[in-house]
Amino acid sequence: MFAALMAHEDFKKRIRDDWRDSLHAILAKARSLGQQAVLAFDLDSTLLDNRERQARILREYGTAHAVEPLSTCAAHHWNSGWDMREAMRACGLEAALVERHFEPARHFWGERFFTSEYCAVDEAIEGAAAFTHAVVGTGARLVYVTGRHEGMREGSVACMRRLGMALPDGERVMLVMKPAPYDDDDAFKREAHAQLGRLGTVVAAFDNEPTHANDYRRRFPDATVIHLATDHSGRPVTLLDGIISVPHFTLVS
C-alpha cells in the first residue's frame, strides 16, 4: 500500500468527453430491469475519498512526535495517492527527516487507518451520494463491495450517513465486507462476485483498482465496468478493453 503510485495520469487520459453518457445509460438499464438489477460499488477512492483520514493520521503523528510540519498535514498533501513519503515532503518535511520518520509513521498509520474511528472522517467523491440514491431510485439493488473488514462497519455506515449516501438495509442496499483485516482483498472480491451473481443481473460495477475492475470485466462481460480514475495501490495493471474511466459521479456538467 505504501508503494509509490505509478502515474495515474494515463488513466485520466482514458476519460472520454462523453463519460457521463455511460452513467446515464447504466441508470436507464437498471430502471428497465428494476429489482432484478444489481450494481456493485467499491468504497475507498471509488465513492469515498480517504485523504482526510490519511491527513488526520499524519497530523496526529506529527503532534505526538513533535514533528511540526506534519502536525499541519491536510488532505491536499496526499495528492500522490498512497505515497506517504511524498505526502510528508508535501507537508514541508525535509528529505532526511522524511527517511527518519517514515517507518515509525507507517507503523502509526497501520494502527489507525483500518479502524471505524478513522474511516468515519472520509469525504465523498464528487456526486457519489446523489448517484447512490439515483441507483436506489431505479428499483435496483445496490451492493457496496469493499476491502474494508467487518471491524470498520460502524464507522463506514456512520460516514455514509453523514455524507447523505444510501444506507445499507440488508436487502435493497447491502454492505459486503471482508470478515477479517488480513484477508486478501483480491481473493475476497472474487468471492464476492459469486454472491453478486446470485442476487440478480449485474448491470454495472465500479472500482478504482484496475485489478478489481478487470476481475469484474471477466466475471460479468455483459455488465458495464466503470473505473474511477482517482488513485490506486500502484500495481502496474492495464485496464481491459471495454472498461470506462470516469473522474467522479456528477451527472450534469
CATH number reported for the structural domain that contains residue 166 in this entry: 3.40.50.1000
If asked whether residues 37 and 57 sit together in one domain, one would say no
Cell numbers that stand for 94 in this block: 525535509
**224 and 194 in a common domain:** yes
Residue 226 near residue 248, CB atoms below 8 Å? no
- In-domain check, residue 1: no
Dihedral angle, C-alpha 71, 159, 20, 14, nearest 10 °: 40
| pLDDT of 1 | 35
For 70, the grid coordinates are 506534519
User: For residue 182, what are the domain limits?
Assistant: 9-49+123-246
Pair 178, 149: CB distance under 8 Å: yes
Geometric angle at alpha carbon 156, from 121 and 48, rounded to 5°: 65
Q: Closest Cα partner for 145 from 76, 211, 64, 46? A: 46
pLDDT digits (tens, 9 = 90+) for 193-224: 989 999 999 999 999 999 999 999 999 999 99
Q: What is the pLDDT of residues 49-71, one digit of tens each?
A: 999 999 999 999 999 999 999 99
Indicate if 42 and 104 belong to the same structural domain.
no
pLDDT digits (tens, 9 = 90+) for 90-111: 999 999 999 999 999 999 999 9
Q: Do 45 and 56 reside in the same domain of the chain?
A: no
Nearest-angstrom CA–CA distance, 113 and 68: 21
111 lies in the same domain as 160: no
Q: Tell me the three state secondary structure of residue 142.
A: strand
42 close to 185: Cβ distance less than 8 angstroms: no
Question: What amino acid is encoded at 139 in this protein?
Answer: G
pLDDT, tens only, 13-48 = 899 999 999 999 999 999 999 999 999 999 999 999
Whether 80 shows a pLDDT value over 70: the answer reads no
